[in-house]
Amino acid sequence: MVRITTIVACAAALLLPGASRAQQWNSAGLEQSAIDASKTKSAPPPRRDLTGIWDAGGSGIAGPGHQSAPWTQWGQQKASAYKPGNGPRAVYEADINDPLSTVCDPAGFPRLVLYETRPFQVVQTPNQVLILYMFEKRWRVIGTDGRALPKDPDPRWYGYSVGHWEDDFTFVVQTVGMDERTWLDNAGNPHSGELKVEERYYRVNRDRMELTVTIDDAKTFTKPWLGRDKMPLTRAPANMDVMEMICSPTEVMDFRKNISDRTDKK
Amino acid sequence: MVEFGRGRTLDIDMRTHFTFFTIAATALLSVVAAAQNLPWNNPGGVQGLAAPQTGPTAPAPKRDLSGIWDAGGAGIGARGMPAAPLTPWGDALGKTHHSGDGARMVPAPDINDPLSTMGDPSGFPRNLLFELRPFQVVHTPNQVLMLYMFEKRWRVIWTDGRQLPKDPDPRWYGYSVGRWEDDYTFVVNSVGTDERTWLDNAGNPHSNDLKVEERYRRVGRDLMELTVTLDDPKTYTRPWVARDKLQLRLLPPDTDLMEMIPSATEAAAVKKIYAGEK
């Protein structure tokens, strides 16, 4: 297997232990032992600084999806059209209609922080916090220049984000204007264009950060709920070159064709 | 409602969705509002906005490319590039590329450009030769990071002195290392690019042996020049320059770039329309 960029191949390889050994190129992430070790002792955190490469390990993947708040009637109706590959409503492989896994449409935000949250790099500029994700090789900008979120924005796959420091170690991000076509997670939880997302990045110490994601979408859910609850993130070495993990429509179409071929032969 | 020629239209709700295709169409018209002074969704790329600076500019900072850069209309490269002559191997590969522009151009329903018909990754170096929309450069102590508006993808250029990999597994965006040749010239070398990607909109091919050199020369505070040299002896009889001192203008640091992400679903919808034309 020469080509390692296939997302399907990557997903399989990353489930194997020891796939993430340190190397100069194409790291799949930290060893679990490195993630565990970071719980014990570390230097104090720098102030107002999230820069670095962060890895949630296996918990970032969240293959089965998340336990959401109850749906509203509108949410229920929207969800009934979603045929996910995981979670309580999982359907057979050939019936899945997940726009990410079946046609490689953009994961979008906040699915990017609820599913396949692989290693990501945080960079700060004087007026931005930039987040560069290994998954999809996508980036997003969080404005820290005091600008207000747009009123009634045109939807974007990755929304509109602003952030501020609540204290020296807690960075809070608000996001609106997300595209209703995207799913929230692998269980096919839907959202509306009115979704508001809050991310709280709490830097515990030099090597550890916690991420809490709150989903607030009154049109879809009867109450706000936590998509991530203090998900621990471990700082990776600054020279870690992360592998590519990009969904290609051509590859996924070939993959799907193989599945339906096999299904036909059954 | 977007016109796609011959009276056919694509019913896209432009209020609801920015699509790659509607943006590609509108951005080529000069009706897009000036890129400055929009708090969100700056399109950049307007002809004239990034015209070569005539007046004086402040001196360039040393060893610093950070900022948001815009090549204007010249970045788009819709027609493709005049390449060096092809080798027999390159010619055979090029014949399988049915492009929507340039010398290999075919009628719309027959195009097999993996980017425009499938939404596959543009890859490197095509993202420098086609749809080079505004991009942001960020420095860290050991990297130069490039964040592209088109596709909303990023790539890393390592500046920690590491060697390029020998015989790497191909990646869509390759493997890159960079160094400062002098205080104003940053040189990037890349290998390990994916043979499935096209070089440009004319369907110029490349092999896995492709080596790319990018030279970023910061002329002044507000102006930078990019030269891209392609060296792929398996495909071309000699190295050739695909971007020759392409001029890039510095945009205000608070510019919020619009999204311009090809979606496979949208690409399929457009393909259906073309198929109907056939």
pLDDT of B138-167, one tens digit each? 999 999 999 999 999 999 999 999 999 999
Residue tagged 């870690």 (tokens): A240
- Taking 80 as the threshold, does the pLDDT of residue A250 lie above it? yes
Disruptive mutation site among A2, A3, A23, A25 for chain B (greatest number of B CBs within 10 Å): A25
Smallest Cα distance from A254 to chain B, Å:
12
Residue of chain A minimizing CA distance to B149: A139
| Confidence (pLDDT) at B53 | 55
Of all residues in chain A, the one with the smallest CA distance to B268 is A103
If one compares B37 and A237, the residue with the highest pLDDT of the two is A237
* Mean of per-residue pLDDT scores for chain B: 86
Any domain includes A16: no
The verdict on residue A38 lying in a domain is no
Q: Report how far Cα B198 is from the mean position of its chain's Cα atoms.
A: 11
Residue A3 lies inside a defined structural domain of this protein: no
Q: Tens digits of per-residue pLDDT, A152-178?
A: 999 999 999 999 999 999 999 999 999
Domain count, chain A: 1
> Is residue B96 classed as helix, strand or coil in its secondary structure?
coil
pLDDT given at position A259: 74
CB contact under 8 A, B141 and A26: no
Of B160, B165, B254, the CB nearest to A145: B254
Tell me if chain B has a CB within 8 Å of the CB of A118: no
- Among B15, B138, B144, the strongest candidate for a mutation testing the A interface, having the largest count of A CBs within 10 A, is B138
Cα A128 to its chain centre, rounded Å, is 20
B268, A103: Cβ pair inside 8 Å? yes
- Residues from chain A that touch B160, judged by Cβ atoms under 8 A, are 239
Question: Contact A25/B165, CB-based, under 8 Å?
Answer: yes
Per-residue pLDDT tens for A181-224?
Answer: 999 999 999 999 999 999 999 999 999 999 999 999 999 999 99
Domain that holds residue A211: 50-261
Token reading at A9? 């191949």
Q: Is A194 part of the contact surface with chain B (CB cutoff 8 Å)? A: no
Phi then psi for residue B140, to 5 deg, are -120, 175
In a domain, A41, yes or no: no
Domain presence at residue A4: no
Interchain contact, A139 vs B114, CB within 8 Å:
no
Tell if the CB–CB gap between B172 and A5 is shorter than 8 Å. yes
Does A168 fall in a domain? yes
> For the residues B186-198, what does the mean pLDDT come to?
98
What is the pLDDT confidence band of residue B275, given thresholds at 50, 70 and 90? Answer: confident
Q: Which of A154, A240, A253 to mutate to test the interface with B (most CBs of B within 10 A)?
A: A154
Helix/strand/coil (H/E/C) assignment for every residue in chain A? CCCCCCHHHHHHHHCCCCCCCCCCCCECCCCHHHHHHCCCCCCCCCCCCCCEEEECHHHHCCCCCCCCCCECHHHHHHHHCCCCCCCCCCCCHHHCCCHHHHHCCCCCCCHHHHCCCCCEEEEEECCEEEEEECECCEEEEEECCCCCCCCCCCCECCCEEEEEEEECCEEEEEEECECCCCCCCCCCCCCCCCCEEEEEEEEEECCEEEEEEEEECCCCECCCEEEEEEEEEEEECCCCCECCECCCHHHHHHHHHHHHHHHHHC
Judge whether A7 lies within some domain: no
Which residue of A lies nearest to B156 if distances are taken between CA atoms?
A241
Domain assignment present for residue A235? The answer is yes
Residue A2 scores a pLDDT above 70:
no
Question: Which residue shows structure tokens 């293959």?
Answer: A63
Q: Is the peptide bond before B88 cis (omega within 30 degrees of 0)?
A: no
CB atoms B267 and A249 under 8 Å = yes
CA distance B247 to B141: 26
B208/A2 Cα distance (integer angstroms): 12
Residue B248 burial by Cβ neighbours in a 10 Å radius (0-12, 13-18, 19+): buried
Q: Is the ipTM of this complex over 0.95?
A: no
